[in-house]
Amino acid sequence: MLMPPALTVAEYFAGIGLMRLGLEEAGWTTVFANDLDAKKRERYEHHFGCSPAVTPDDIHLLDVKHVPSTILATASFPCNDLSLAGARRGLSGEHSSAFWGFIRILEEMGARRPPLILLENVTGLLTSNDGADSREALPAVNRLGYNVDAFIMDATRFRLFSLS
């Protein structure tokens, strides 16, 4: 893998930028962000300014040529089909299948692929379709050359902050 500049991050499924908030505090710089929801992009850019502008593409259509090389890529992909509160269609569901769009981007980046990735979702990812989804998803990440592990974090252990 080619090494891009230190502590740079590409933020997929950027939403209103909660991932960026945490990473910036830890010294990371977001150089690319993507989300297809116009209202969320507006909130993101209201908070962080327009640099980088959040690209509006559907992850399934995003052209890898527009994605810069970074050290880290984050993916807070949709949980609608994984959450215990939903119909649990899993990673083939209309929304959560966006995970595979992220995998496609990494595949197409080839040697430019970031050395680190961070996937964030609900615990239902580990149990949907009786675990078959995670048994398919984690090896897909392995095949791209990443060591991968899943762990559960309790959000109540972290301090609250607010976006203006």
Ligand X SMILES: C[S@@+](CC[C@H](N)C(=O)[O-])C[C@H]1O[C@@H](n2cnc3c(N)ncnc32)[C@H](O)[C@@H]1O
Q: By the criterion CB under 6 A, which residues form the site for ligand X?
A: 13, 15-19, 34-37, 40, 58-60, 76, 78-79, 95, 98, 101
Q: Which residue number, 2 or 74, has a Cβ lying nearer to ligand X?
A: 74
Q: Which residue number, 95 or 112, has a Cβ lying nearer to ligand X?
A: 95
Distance CA 56, CA 37 (A): 7
Q: What is the dihedral of CA 15, 135, 107, 78, to 10 degrees?
A: -10
Q: Position of tokens 């994984």?
A: 82
Q: Which residue number, 88 or 95, has a Cβ lying nearer to ligand X?
A: 95
Q: Position of tokens 């052209």?
A: 63
Nearest residue by C-beta to ligand X?
15
| CB of 140 vs ligand X, minimal distance in Å | 17
Segments of the chain assigned E as strands? 8-12, 29-34, 54-55, 72-75, 116-119
| CB of 150 vs ligand X, minimal distance in Å | 17
